[in-house]
Every structure is written in structure tokens, then in C-alpha cells.
Amino acid sequence: MTAPVRTQGSPETRGSPETRGSQELIRAEEPVLAHNYHPLPVVVARAEGTWVEDVEGRRYLDLLAGYSALNFGHRHPALVEAAHRQLDRLTLTSRAFHHDRLAEFAERLAALTGLDMVLPMNTGAEAVESAVKVARKWAYDVKGVPDGRATIVVAADNFHGRTTTIVSFSTDETARQGFGPFTPGFRIVPYNDLTALEAAVDETTAAVLIEPIQGEAGVIIPDDGYLTGVRELTRRKGCLFIADEIQSGLGRTGGTLAVEHESVVPDVVLLGKALGGGIVPVSAVVARREVLAVLRPGEHGSTFGGNPLAAAVGTAVVELLETGEFQQRATELGATLRDGLTELVGKGVVGFRSRGLWAGVDIDPALGTGREVSERLMREGVLVKDTHGSTIRLAPPLTITSEELVEALATLERVLR
């Protein structure tokens, strides 16, 4: 028998991750990973709370929190304990059978959001795709839209995921180019423009799908009254209001949901990211009973959606939010963040938008791109991520202390000098 050929990256020749340095590990990714990301050159090996540590032992304050997936910090003790407990009992049944964790998860999540029913899924994009299907089914079965003619109205500069259907209604050419043909049935209007929205909604409209705050676009916050207007318009026109709270929800903005800042209750809320506590991917479509009741067995599903491990962790996340502690922290520390950024305007920052512990910060282009500023901050021990040219996003864990936040803002001031 001929011996297998040993290549440079084969298991026989490479060291274990514990013995390889950051640069070696980054180089090792190049030939074997699709290049669909451009991460900062830091290789994280350990994390606790608001801090991460790379393979060389350097520590960094995490001000990105996994794009809000780590709202409760890295390895929150209550969430880790819930996962350990469930790992010792049951991890997966598929939805072919019932299991003992799903009812509590759905009951408590519905109560937390003020809605009735839950469709558990895994990723944020799956939640959005599920909502698109549900809205169309509702339009045909309940509203009476002729089959195949349902439309969904979305906002320009949106970010709802990266599946083929979702990029069909993106206005980001990087997300679209080379991935057509695109799925029809969507109308795009400017964000924060009720007049344009009114003109786009007609008798074929199944739903209006928007982010209460556009995260990927740079934490774009609509005018006061916009969400209230969307709610009033969709009721009057007889279509659904779907709020994508995958990044903005679960405490990030100071409320359980961002729509709460205008006391709005959508027909459908999409959740993900933080719902999995930074441990497992968990997402959900949470909606009025009339909406989710259109689904019948066999029409939609997911092998891992609502699995016992996900339900156990998701329930523990809901339990953390039921106390209101994290929403209050986001409100109070959000004031510290806002005040600190206000002090930096004119000192390298040309503008910013913030709500709770979430901010989009526009850097003076003369001082560098968002990527360059992110790399400078990384070298100073603070991790953020850029978006759209010279904008960086700040979304620290809700567990961050006031002292840590103030120090991070001081570091930003230093790198902009």
C-alpha cells in the first residue's frame, strides 16, 4: 500500500493550536478557508466577560460583542451553567419528537416580547427567511392576495442576512454582485421615509420588513415617530409589520426591544444573536397567534431549530432579561458612551449615532479609514469593527463596567490624535 502524501498543512506536520502563534495560525487559514471575511489580525484563544485573550496571552477589551451576539459577555456564568446542565441530559431530538425544554422557552420568550407564538430557528438569516415565508402564506390565506403576487416592502441600506433571497432585496452591491438571478416580490424604499413607504404599500403587500435601527449601515436611528408611523400605516393598509431585532434586540438599546422606545408592538419580531448567549446559534420568529397559525406540519421546519440545548440556553437568556437589569445597564452606560463620544466630536470624530450601548462613530477620513482606526485600537488593546468607509461600530457587552468603557473611550481619543 502506498503511504499517503504528507503536505505542509497535514496533521502529521502541523503543531497543535496551543503551540502555534498568531501569524502562523492566520497564514494556515489562507489555503483552506473561503475568503468571505476580512478579520482583524488577532487570534482569540480565551475569553471571559468583556475581555478576550489571544494565543500569545495579550488581552483586549471587546467592544464588538460578536455584533450583539455576546450581549451578556463571554461565558456568562448563568448561561454556561445552563449549557453544561443540558449537555449532561439531552442535546438534540429534531422536531420529530417533543422534548421537555421547548414549551418553557417559547412561553417565556413570547411573554418577554408581548407576543403570542414562537417559531424557533437557528441563525438570524433563517429567522428572516422564515418570516418572509410566513408573511407570504399569511397574505394568501388571511389577506386574500392572489397566489404568487405577494410583495414585501423593505428599506434601502438594510442588512437582514446573506442568503440568496435576502440579498435580493439588499442595496449593497458587494452583497449582490455575482449572486443573481434574484428573488422577486420585494419593493425597496428609503429608510426613515413614511411618504415613500405609504406609496409602496398596496393591496398585494404582505408585510413591511425593517430594522428599528439599521446596524450594518452604521447604527442609523430613524426620526422620532417613524416606527409609530410604520405601525399605524401597516394597520391601516392591512399588512404585517415585521421588526428585525436580531442586532438591536434583547437589551442592546436600553429596552428589551428597540421598538419599545416608541411603545410599538409589531406583528412579528425577529430575534437571534444574543438569544443564543454567545454559546449556540438560536433565533426565533415571535408573532401574533393569527400570523404563525398559518403554518401547518410539513410546510416549514429545521432539524436543529428549538433543539434542547438551544432551548435551555435561550431560556437562561430570557431569564437574565426578565429582571430588567441589563436593559437598565444599557441605558445608564449608554449615557456614558454618548457623553464620551460627544467630547470626541471635533477631535477626530465628525459625528456619531447612539442608542443604549450601541454606536456608529464617523471618523474624520483625514485620520484614516474605519479599518485603519480599528487596527490602531487593536494594537492598543481594544477591539471594534469598521463598516462603510470611515465608520466604526461600538457594541460592548452589557456587562462592561463604567471604568472599562471610559478607558476604551480614552483609548479611542489617543489613537485619533
Given a contact cutoff of 8 angstroms between Cβ atoms, the answer to whether 240 and 270 are in contact is no
Of 105, 241, 273, 362, the catalytic one is 273
Tell me the H-state helices in 152-241.
Answer: 164-168, 173-176, 194-200, 226-237
Helices 370-379, 402-415: inter-axial angle, 10-degree rounding:
120
Of 72, 159, 169, 304, the catalytic one is 159
Q: What angle do CA 345, 347, 350 make, to 5 degrees?
A: 45
Phi and psi (nearest 5°) for 324?
80, 0
- Give the cell for residue 320: 437574565
Of 54, 62, 244, 386, the catalytic one is 244
Phi and psi (nearest 5°) for 38?
-130, 75
Instruction: In whole angstroms, give the CA distance from residue 189 to residue 391.
Output: 23
141 assigned to active site: no
Residue whose C-alpha is closest to residue 280's, from 97, 83, 39 = 83
Count of residues making up the chain: 417
DSSP for 75-144, please give it. T-HHHHHHHHHHHTT-----TTS--TTHHHHHHHHHHHHT-SEEEEESSHHHHHHHHHHHHHHHIIIII-
Exposed, middle or buried: residue 93 (CB in 10 Å: 0-12, 13-18, 19+)? middle
Helix (H) or strand (E) holding 293: none
347 assigned to active site: no
Given a contact cutoff of 8 angstroms between Cβ atoms, the answer to whether 341 and 361 are in contact is yes
- Burial letters for 47-79: b for 16+ Cβ neighbours within 10 Å, e otherwise? bebbbbebbeeeebbbbbbebbbbbbbbbbeeb
> 368 — alpha (psi -120 to 50), left (phi > 0) or beta?
left
Residue 240: CB atoms within 10 A of its CB come to 26
159 assigned to active site: yes
Residues with catalytic function? 159, 244, 273
